Homo-oligomer: A and B are copies of this chain.
Amino acid sequence: MAQVKNNYQFEDMLQKHNLKKTAPRLRVLSMMYSKNTATSQPDLESVMNDIDRVTLYRILNVFEEKGIIHKVFDLNGTANYAVCHSDCQENHHHDEHLHFNCTVCKNVYCLNELNMPRLTLPAGFEAQGFTLYASGLCPKCSKKSAVKVN
């Protein structure tokens, strides 16, 4: 599930990316690594409400640049942020996996295990990247609705 990391590891991450070890950054890292879903910007903002909004945006931007997190818009156009699974690097992400948006709990899951189906596009179109979304019920919410029915 969620990647478990301690504060020393977060400090290492920052250091490796030449980022200063600051309290706001460590808190953002800690929160995002504690979850197995992406975190929406509104959620981040309310949880981190004592950190200045602008600082939060700047932290998210620099983390994205460094390849620590990636940004994914859910099916309502809301920005969500998730920790990068693996080999993402500065300005070079590898995030072509399925994103699952639960219609009940609204969570966005990064399904890294699913590789993207390559398609042939109509003549003239030159694809550089693909993004695939699915919507529906996540495991938690499908379990709940099943209970309701029975």
Contacts and interface: CB of A to CB of B under 8 A. Distances in A.
- Per assembly, the copies of the chain total 2
A73 B71 CA distance: 14
Interface residues of A, number: 35
Nearest to A145: B126
A103 interface: yes
20 contacts: A73-B75, A98-B121, A100-B121, A100-B127, A103-B128, A109-B125, A113-B122, A114-B122, A119-B134, A121-B134, A124-B138, A125-B138, A125-B139, A125-B142, A126-B137, A127-B135, A127-B136, A128-B135, A129-B136, A131-B135
Given A111-B121, A130-B135, A131-B133, 13 more contacts: A100-B125, A109-B125, A113-B122, A123-B139, A124-B138, A124-B142, A124-B143, A125-B134, A127-B135, A128-B137, A130-B132, A130-B133, A131-B135
